[in-house]
């Protein structure tokens, strides 16, 4: 490749695949590989990058069922997820901050949808004017947890295969409130606080599911929420919270990618290559 930027992208893609393959040899579950946030609005660019990574994983004899590819939940990312899932490649849609994103991702057949509970809560503490969040607060609910519950009911009620993941979990009460969800990303300090809790062992190691299908009585989905989502309806339904949080998340991840490139350029290629 003639352009230095293209060469660096190639190096980093190879590095991601190599590191992911090493991780796949050490863990029993799936490995999720982040797709460059700078491709967030490029459906074909995302699909091409995933195909490149699949080829690298294949060279390491890592089967595709051991892999997830983490893609930003822009409309273009959701479309990329639909195309990849139709090929049998599992996708993990991230930066989901609204019901519209979660519903569109489920309709696209995404394997995993990741909702950032704490980030939505933080936004709600300092802002107003988002209809979805205002509605949750009016009911006395936590905005982040409310989105997870609504997405859970929508996915299960409509029979979608999508699994839900909660991230940006701030405390152990969040964990208790999310029991029944498919996956929780919890910081080590929260896991330690759960482990160190002084309580009866039956209670400590018990499991009272909070997310169940009985929640569907709480939700009467509107016709607008049940329609087939497209780019225009998604854009219209995303409130200011989702728009701001998605934009800031993409900017942060793009900056991290540039930082990694700067560091990587210092060590690769070595002088003899």
Q: What mean pLDDT is reported for the chain?
A: 92
Sheet holding 31-34, edge to edge: 31-34, 67-72, 91-96, 112-116, 163-167, 183-184
- Residue 135 belongs to some domain of the structure: yes
Q: Which of 221 and 71 is assigned the larger pLDDT?
A: 71
- Residue 99 belongs to some domain of the structure: yes
pLDDT for 207: 67
Residue 259, pLDDT above cutoff 60: yes
Contacts 24+ apart (CB under 8 A), 133-136: 133/239, 133/241
- What global pTM score does this model have? 0.92
Q: For residues 111-127, give the mean pLDDT.
A: 96
- Residue 16 belongs to some domain of the structure: no
The total number of structural domains in the chain stands at 1
158-178 pLDDT tens trace: 999 999 999 999 998 999 899
Residue 240, pLDDT above cutoff 70: yes
- CA 269, CA 198: separation in Å to the nearest integer? 53
Residue 220, pLDDT above cutoff 90: no
- Residue 1 belongs to some domain of the structure: no
For residue 11, the SS3 value is helix
Is 266 a catalytic site residue? no
- Residue 10 belongs to some domain of the structure: no
- CA 241, CA 99: separation in Å to the nearest integer? 12
What is the total residue count of the chain?
A: 273
* Element containing residue 112 per DSSP (H, E): strand 112-116
Selection from 244, 216, 228 nearest residue 95 by Cα: 244
Binned at pLDDT 50, 70 and 90, residue 264 comes out as confident
- Residue 252 belongs to some domain of the structure: yes
Q: Which of 268 and 61 is assigned the larger pLDDT?
A: 61
**Helical ranges in 25-139 per DSSP H:** 43-59, 75-86, 99-108, 117-126, 131-138
Q: Tell me the percentage of the chain whose pLDDT exceeds 70.
A: 96
CATH of the domain at 183: 3.20.20.70
Host domain of residue 82: 27-196+204-266
Q: Could you say which of 14, 70, 217, 228 is catalytic?
A: 70
CB 120, CB 96: distance < 8 Å: no
pLDDT for 205: 66
Q: Which of 50-64, 90-104, 252-266 has the lowest mean pLDDT?
A: 252-266
Q: For residues 2-26, give the mean pLDDT.
A: 92
pLDDT for 120: 97
Q: For residues 223-249, give the mean pLDDT.
A: 92
Alpha-carbon distances of 50 from 71, 132, 200, 207, 267, rounded to whole Å: 10, 33, 47, 37, 25
């Amino acid at each position: 490749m003639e352009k230095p930027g293209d060469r660096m992208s190639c190096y980093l893609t190879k590095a991601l695949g190599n590191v992911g393959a090493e991780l796949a040899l050490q863990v029993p579950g799936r490995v999720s590989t982040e797709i460059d946030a700078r491709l967030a609005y490029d459906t074909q660019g995302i699909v091409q990058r995933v195909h490149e990574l699949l080829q690298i994983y294949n060279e390491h004899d890592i089967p595709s069922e051991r892999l997830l590819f983490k893609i930003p939940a822009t409309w273009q990312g959701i479309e990329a997820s639909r195309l990849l899932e139709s090929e049998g490649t599992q996708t993990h849609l991230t930066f989901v901050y609204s019901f519209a994103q979660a519903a569109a991702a489920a309709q696209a057949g995404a394997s995993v949808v990741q909702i950032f509970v704490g980030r939505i809560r933080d936004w709600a503490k300092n802002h107003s004017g988002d209809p979805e969040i205002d509605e949750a607060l009016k009911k006395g609910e936590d905005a982040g947890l409310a989105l997870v519950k609504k997405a859970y009911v929508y996915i299960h009620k409509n029979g979608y295969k999508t699994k839900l993941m909660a991230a940006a979990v701030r405390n152990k009460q969040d964990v208790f409130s999310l029991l029944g969800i498919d996956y929780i990303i919890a910081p080590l300090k929260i896991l330690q606080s759960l482990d160190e809790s002084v309580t009866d062992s039956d209670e400590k190691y018990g499991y009272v599911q909070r997310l169940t299908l009985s929640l569907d009585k709480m939700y009467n989905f509107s016709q607008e929420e049940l329609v087939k989502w497209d780019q225009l309806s998604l854009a219209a339904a995303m409130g200011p919270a989702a728009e701001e949080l998605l934009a800031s998340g993409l900017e942060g991840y793009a900056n991290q990618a540039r930082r990694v490139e700067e560091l990587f350029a210092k060590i690769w290629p070595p002088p003899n290559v």
